[in-house]
Every structure is written in structure tokens, then in C-alpha cells.
Amino acid sequence: MPELPEVQTTVNGLNKKVLLRTFVDVWSDWEKTVKKPRLPSGQAKSFLQFKSEIKNKKIIKIWRRAKNIIFDLSENYSLLIHQKMTGHLLVGKWEKINGVWQAAKNSPLSDPYNRFLHIIFFLDDKNMLALSDARKFAKIELWKTDELLNSEEFKKIGPEPLDKKFTFEKFKKVFENKKGKVKQIIMNPEIIAGIGNIYASEALWQAKIHPEKNVANLKEKELKLLYQAIQKVLTLGVKLGGESFSDYRKPDGTKGDFDSERKVYKRQNQKCHRCGTKIKRIKFGARSAFFCPNCQQL
């Protein structure tokens, strides 16, 4: 699933490619992706409503909050896209051949992971903004901007870990009176935004903290290491354009470069880069955790 670095990479790419463009039309073969506007009278009509509302809206700003991509549009509308498990946004040109949207053969957009196009926005410069989403869990919502900013789901999102205002003092506060396994706590979007399985595992390895350690027992020194590790792995992730060993691709269709930097995530039975011990995989909270049993002791 795209996490903060992948979503930020997408936002950075979109800012270069589609900022100030205007939506001309939209196509979909999976209209359920659009969750808002949603009319009680049924699916097809809801999509038609969405289509008519987005038409002629200009993209004024593209930004990120947690794993949400937000396009602020003209007339005080905002388009929210959450890529969820396998979704990723692409920009380019496709042609419909025998009923299938196809990119030029030599283009990175023809990468097999980029072929699950279920919604395409047509822009006024003839480019297209497309969502490739193999498992079809992504969501798209069209809001009035002020309603989005004041929505319950938006207000409950935790602080942004790369925000300059998110100091170590604030980070410590986040853990006050919290109990539970540290990996699950840092992956809770209401506690800190944007961290998922990959970067949680990587940060805990950097900080030498066992993923199942109870946050209530973390010492000040460990919290400091964790704070620094989270910033380090997320910053590196953004710098390298995210990870692409699974579905995620950048908006131009190419892969991010974080994969070679992974120290533990999906490296079970391979050697720890620090001490040579075999990386272990365990499961809790329905997710896998990867760690070095020597460097990260309970």
C-alpha cells in the first residue's frame, strides 16, 4: 500500500504535470470508486452527477494529508483520492484499442502494474490522469473544500511526521497514556499520519526497537531514536520516490528507488545489514512485522 513517501512522490509528480489544468471529462468502468457524490437513487446516476460536477473545474493546488491526495479545484471544490491497497495515479496518454486503454509500448506506462485503469480524467491539454488499481479498493470523493477540511474523518487524522512543527516534544506527547505494541501505535493514522507496514518496520529497525515492545515502556532515549528513525526513513523514501517492489509506480509510470534501501521489510531469512542475524517475520494485528531478533530485543 502506498504510504507517506509514495503518496508524496505522487503529489510531487502531479504538481509537475497537471497543476492548473482543467478537467474536461471522466471515464470509468468501475464507478464504485467514486464514493461522493453518492445519490440514494443509484450508482450510475451518482457517477453522472460526479461527471457533471467535475467538468470545467481547474486544478489550483495539489497536496497531501496522511495518505490522501487532494486536488483543490476552482469554485471551492476539492477532489480527494485515496489510493488504498494497489491504486496509483498516472499521467500520460492512452488510446482505446479493441476496448482496452493502451499506452505506447515503449512507455513506462505500459508496465504490467500500470494496466488496471478503472478511471480516467481527460484534461484540457490532451493529457489524461488515470488511476490504475488492480484490486479496486481506491476511493475518490468530490467535496466542497470547507466541508472536507471540517469533516470528522479529516479532523481525526494525526500529526504529519515530516511537518517542521512536529517536534520531539510533540512526538512524545503523542505517546502519553498510550499502551500497546509500538508498531501498531505508530501505524495508527489517528496517532501519526502516513506510516504503514513498510516504513514502520524500517523505522523500528533503525531505532533498534522490537515491534512488539509496549510503548508505555519506551524510555526517553528510545523515543528519541524512534522519532529520528521515522523522519529518516520517510525522508529517504520521499527522496528516492517511494518503493515499487509491489504495485506502486510514480505518475510517469516508472518505479521508485526505495527498494534497495529496505533493511527488514520482506527480507525474512536474509541477513541483517547491521549484525548478520537472519531477519524474522512475525504476525500480529493481522499484519506481518519484520525485524532483527538480535538488534531489536524485547
Residues near Zn ion, by CB under 5 A: 272, 274-275, 277, 292, 294-295
Select which of 67, 213, 262, 263 is catalytic: 67
* Annotation says 38 is catalytic: no
CB 70 within 8 A of CB 33: no
Burial of 24 (0-12, 13-18, 19+ CB in 10 A): middle
Select which of 32, 58, 287, 293 is catalytic: 287
Cell numbers for 277: 542475524
Alpha-carbon span 115 to 127, nearest angstrom:
17
Identify the CA nearest to 57 among candidates 77, 35, 82.
77
Select which of 3, 6, 31, 141 is catalytic: 3
Minimum distance from residue 44 beta carbon to Zn ion (Å): 55
CB of 76 or CB of 297, closer to Zn ion: 297
Minimum distance from residue 243 beta carbon to Zn ion (Å): 21
Cell numbers for 217: 515502556
Alpha-carbon span 236 to 243, nearest angstrom:
11
CB of 158 or CB of 293, closer to Zn ion: 293
CB 241 within 8 A of CB 259: no
Minimum distance from residue 277 beta carbon to Zn ion (Å): 5
Alpha-carbon span 231 to 248, nearest angstrom:
21
* Annotation says 67 is catalytic: yes
Minimum distance from residue 9 beta carbon to Zn ion (Å): 29
CB 74 within 8 A of CB 60: yes
* Annotation says 36 is catalytic: no
CB of 43 or CB of 277, closer to Zn ion: 277
Alpha-carbon span 108 to 110, nearest angstrom:
5
Alpha-carbon span 289 to 297, nearest angstrom:
14
CB of 148 or CB of 226, closer to Zn ion: 226
* Annotation says 135 is catalytic: no
Alpha-carbon span 82 to 4, nearest angstrom:
12
Minimum distance from residue 262 beta carbon to Zn ion (Å): 14
Q: Tell me which residues are annotated as active site.
A: 2-3, 67, 287
